[in-house]
Amino acid sequence: MNLDQNLFDAEILIVDDERPNILLLERLLKASGYSRIRGTDDPRRVRDLLGERDTDIVLLDLRMPYMDGFQIMEAIQSTVEAGDDYLPVLMLTAEHDPRIKLRALELGATDFLLKPFDRAEVASRVRNILQVRLLNKRVRQQNAELESKVRERTRELDETRLEIIRRLGLAAEYRDNETGLHIVRMSLFAQAIALRHGLSPEQAELLMNAAPMHDIGKIGIPDRVLLKKDKLDSDEWHIMRRHTTIGAQMLSGHSSPLLRMAADIALSHHERWDGGGYPQGLSGESISLEARIVAVADVFDALLAERPYKKAWPEHEAIAEIERLAGHQFDPAVVESFLSALPELREIRARYQDS
């Protein structure tokens, strides 16, 4: 922004109940190169006039009928605060009383212009005030541009972080001979159930983004155990169970709400409502709600999926199994939310079918 170039494009508003004063100031300002000048002899119109255009300076008479200059400055101040802006006011007065000047300054007056008007003084004071005004506008514009860039960069970083989390989740699933679409489905299942359970859209979305990491700890399980086709013996089962604590360790130690939730889900998604789960043997509401929701979403999709070691369950049998496990493996309230979310879950399944 070139200040000299933009200075004479400034919007000027003159408020004086005496029309000759308005005409005189308009003539003086136009002689100085200003062209965008409005004037009113009715102070009641000031608020509407300010709303019509982005005004850069108000030349305001102090003594007027209906509303005096003090009342108008109070109205201007409320407009400025609402718009988070700086609107300079040049007071027009014949008063020499310092108490009046002090009150005007306290209400936000920028400077004073004494009557009768001197052409050189009018030009100098208006120019000085407008230079500050335009510098303020430039700073505000630059700040807005910087804030926009920061928001865009933050959005890009958030998207990158989420993509890394999704891909790590996929890596864990592929090691277990799962398909990437299992991660997508169960995460969306968890979001749908969470919404039916009463979580806010923001919390449900956070859960959707944290859920893909629930089995990340399987990266630390040896292939001889993770990929074994036969039934695991007791030692191997003990090793397999460690994927919950490994996952929690991998994801812990960060202040991000997303990673904190992901760490909790990784640790607790194999806990059972009746206390018979692992790794801590938690029960009931001592298990986080997010982990309880993921447990239902994960098992439901696993039951419906065909794998080398099992056939896919029919949907009605999978639903019956989830209901049967309510109060044992699963939180009964979450199961109720699961049942109410079935229309959404069916849409998700149809959209993300394994090829």
The CATH number of whichever domain residue 282 belongs to comes to: 1.10.3210.10
Residue 258 lies in a domain: yes
Residue 155 lies in a domain: no
The domain that holds 129 is classified in CATH as 3.40.50.2300
Q: What is the mean pLDDT of the chain?
A: 88
Residue 153 lies in a domain: no
Residue 91 lies in a domain: yes
Residue 159 lies in a domain: no
Tally Cβ neighbours within 10 Å of residue 201.
Answer: 10
Residues 293, 334, single domain; the answer is: yes
In the predicted model, what is the mean pLDDT of residues 22-35? 92
Most confident segment among 26-30, 130-134, 194-198, 303-307: 194-198
Q: Which domain holds residue 342?
A: 176-351
Q: Band of the pLDDT at 353, cuts 50, 70, 90?
A: confident
Residue 171 lies in a domain: no
Question: Is the predicted pLDDT of residue 286 greater than 90, yes or no?
Answer: yes
Last residue of a domain, one of 133, 148, 163: 148
Using one digit for the tens of pLDDT, what is the confidence trace for 45-69? 988 888 888 889 999 998 888 888 8
Position 115 scores a pLDDT of 83
Residues 132, 268, single domain; the answer is: no
The total domain count for the chain is 2
Q: Band of the pLDDT at 166, cuts 50, 70, 90?
A: low
Residues 128, 30, single domain; the answer is: yes
Token couple for 288: 């986080």
Position 81 scores a pLDDT of 53
Residues 217, 300, single domain; the answer is: yes
Residues 122, 29, single domain; the answer is: yes
Residues 58, 181, single domain; the answer is: no
SS3 sequence of the chain = CCHHHHHCCCCEEEECCCHHHHHHHHHHHHHCCCCCEEEECCHHHHHHHHHHCCCCEEEEECCCCCCCHHHHHHHHHHHHHHHCCCCCEEEEECCCCHHHHHHHHHCCCCEEEECCCCHHHHHHHHHHHHHHHHHHHHHHHHHHHHHHHHHHHHHHHHHHHHHHHHHHHHHHHHHCCCCHHHHHHHHHHHHHHHHHHCCCHHHHHHHHHHHHHCCHHHHHCCHHHHCCCCCCCHHHHHHHHCHHHHHHHHHCCCCCHHHHHHHHHHHHCCCCCCCCCCCCCCCHHHCCHHHHHHHHHHHHHHHHCCECCECCCCHHHHHHHHHHCECCCECHHHHHHHHHCHHHHHHHHHHCCCC
Last residue of a domain, one of 148, 166, 190: 148
Position 134 scores a pLDDT of 87
Position 109 scores a pLDDT of 84
Using one digit for the tens of pLDDT, what is the confidence trace for 301-352? 999 988 766 789 999 999 999 999 999 999 999 999 999 999 999 999 999 8
Residues 82, 231, single domain; the answer is: no
Residue 164 lies in a domain: no
306-332 as b/e: b if 16+ CB within 10 A: eeeeeeebeeeebbeebeebbeebbbe
Position 27 scores a pLDDT of 93
Residues 47, 191, single domain; the answer is: no
Residues 122, 189, single domain; the answer is: no
Residues 139, 180, single domain; the answer is: no
Position 79 scores a pLDDT of 65
Residues 130, 202, single domain; the answer is: no
Residue 165 lies in a domain: no
Q: Closest Cα partner for 12 from 61, 43, 44, 49?
A: 49
Calpha distance 70→93 (Å, rounded): 12
Calpha distance 9→137 (Å, rounded): 13
Residues 10, 83, single domain; the answer is: yes
